[in-house]
Amino acid sequence: MKSKRSTKPSAKPVSGNEMNGAEILVACLEREAVEVIFAYPGGCSMPMHQALTKTKKIRTILPRHEQGGIFAAEGYARVTGRVGVCMATSGPGATNFVTGIADAFMDSIPLVAITGQVPQEMIGRGAFQETDVFGMTLPMVKHSYLVWDINEIPRIMKEAFHIARTGRPGPVLIDVPKNIQMQTAVPVFPKDVTLRGYRPEKIASEAELREIFEMLGRAKRPMIYCGGGVISGEASAELLEFVERTQIPVATTFMGIGCFPETHPLSLKWLGMHGTVYANNAVNEADLLLAIGVRFDDRVTGKVEKFCEHGEIVHIDIDNSEINKNKLVRLPVLGDLKDALSRLNKILDRAGFKRLAKNQTRFADWYRKIAEWKSEHPLTFKDTSDAIQPQHVIRELYELTGGDAIIATGVGQHQMWAGQFYDFVRPRTFVTSAGLGTMGFGYPAAIGAKVALPDKQVIDIDGDGSFLMNVQELATAHIEGIAAKAIILNNQHLGMVVQWEDRFHGGNRGHTFLGDPKDLNRIYPDYVQICEGFGVKCERVLHKRDLRAAIGRLLASKEAYVLDVMTPYTEHVLPMIPSGRSYRDVIIK
């Protein structure tokens, strides 16, 4: 759904005072209860920044790169469920948003990205810092606007926030020419939103829910495979109740981590390429698979035609475009997850299915089989020498935080280890770039998360390659007083690519060494010195004996803090299902 215009809702002026377009836009942000905007100024967004200096309701945070700003807005949105807001100027400012917009689109994150644009009369003429950001982002937004009339700003802004957060959430782009920002008008603010053809509310039918209940009665080896839709649909409590009534084991996707407590006896953690062996086995050998808020992406299914090939699949999702897109299912159910699970729980309650948190016995043979898989293939690692194994770092962090922290990650091996060795019990506590897999995401996302939840401990678990991609955001954390922490698992390599080189290319290095080839004994770059330049405390940890105390100092700090932990590059993330293969082809050592 992409357009410049839509039907106007009922509206009325709030006052007779004229305002310029930029001031109207900021007033609209205030009316949407926006608390913070991550905004980097430039020539074509200057009027909006001038307007932001006059508001007392919105905090403007200056990132040091537009990509850092949009990732911070994502971090804010991911931990709160509210719409993240960011702003950039035209041209390179807008194009620096593109990766973040794509990232939010892939992971269904509610986001409003505002860009300045050259004046209307210059559009299409190749003006200085002109790009068609409206056109280039069409495939990766839920909706987009090019503002062509100052009087449309209030309607467009209200629609944008409504679209971003309803149904399946996603990013919305608003491109505002500079002359529109400087024109004046008496604003007319709409009371509500009327969008012809946009009906985000989807409700599962009673007949579909009854059919699910009947299928449950026939199942001997049922499994639940649930994902990020449970989190964005605020349905975690309903899922927990459903699981405890049905006594069905649960495996989440990587995006779904935290939607079901991983300490629960029915949790198998997460499945997919680097998921647990027992989760992959159970999902693929189930006779009934309830797929809830998922999209059957390739990192989960592997060879899709072999995924749960002998079981019946029920797919419940709010987005009709995902139904039967990647995997044909026995029963597709289009509906809001919170509503569907709530009504299923009522059906179960009426049928006498009591809620049990422990002592599950309904599928005893199935539980025994899963227990065998767990015993044969636990998540483990060798931890014998003084070398600091990356998995050990994460377990130490988990113990010292008691599992009560927001964990952000970059992208790479460290990301997978964070998901494997930190146990998440609540939704919106694992902040990661899952669908797009964007390096450089972790630390700016942690900044956004910390701004949203200043009283929570927020730690970015990152790799040396990923952290460096947005290292400039240390300045944002220091200047803005944002106590976002980071632990760098530094192996001097692009670890995940090295792992693939070792497994599939005979160990031949294709430009994956990040250190200094002229001095292999030198740790390069020197994050301690880099952080010192930004005014951020950083420690380097070389020995296991020093690790726990160093993590304690990081957690105790009231300011931004970085640990540069040296780890071996020879360590691989296991288990691993090679791309395009089935769960039976898993590599476990």
Superfamily of domain 206-376: TPP-binding domain (3.40.50.1220)
How far is residue 540's CA from residue 565's CA, in Å, rounded to a whole number? 6
Residue ranges per structural domain of the chain = 11-190, 206-376, 390-566
Q: DSSP letters of 188-240?
A: EEESS---TT--------HHHHHHHHHHHHH-SSEEEEE-HHHHHTT-HHHHH
The fold adopted by the segment(s) 11-190 is Rossmann fold (3.40.50)
- Residue 322, Cβ density class (10 Å: 0-12 exposed, 13-18 middle, ≥19 buried): buried
Residue 34 tokens read as: 């926006």
Tens digit of pLDDT at every position of the chain (589 positions): 444 433 344 444 445 689 999 999 999 999 999 999 999 999 999 999 999 999 999 999 999 999 999 999 999 999 999 999 999 999 999 999 999 999 999 999 999 999 999 999 999 999 999 999 999 999 999 999 999 999 999 999 999 999 999 999 999 999 999 999 999 999 999 999 989 999 999 999 999 999 999 999 999 999 999 999 999 999 999 999 999 999 999 999 999 999 999 999 999 999 999 999 999 999 999 999 999 999 999 999 999 999 999 999 999 999 999 999 999 999 999 999 999 999 999 999 999 999 998 889 999 999 999 999 999 999 999 987 789 999 999 999 999 999 999 999 999 999 999 999 999 999 999 999 999 999 999 999 999 999 999 999 999 999 999 999 999 999 999 999 999 999 999 999 999 999 999 999 999 999 999 999 999 999 999 999 999 999 999 999 999 999 999 999 999 999 999 999 999 999 999 999 999 999 999 999 9
Sheet strands side by side (includes 36-39)? 59-61, 36-39, 84-88, 111-117, 171-177, 143-146
How far is residue 583's CA from residue 304's CA, in Å, rounded to a whole number? 11
Query: Do 11-190 and 390-566 show the same overall fold?
Result: yes
The residues that are catalytic are 66, 128-129, 178, 496
Q: For 514-518, which contacts have Cβ atoms below 8 Å and span 24 or more sequence positions?
A: 514/464, 514/465, 514/468
- Mention the CATH class of domain 390-566: alpha beta
- Residue 331, Cβ density class (10 Å: 0-12 exposed, 13-18 middle, ≥19 buried): middle
Instruction: Tell the residue number behind the tokens 């995924």, with chain if given.
Output: 307
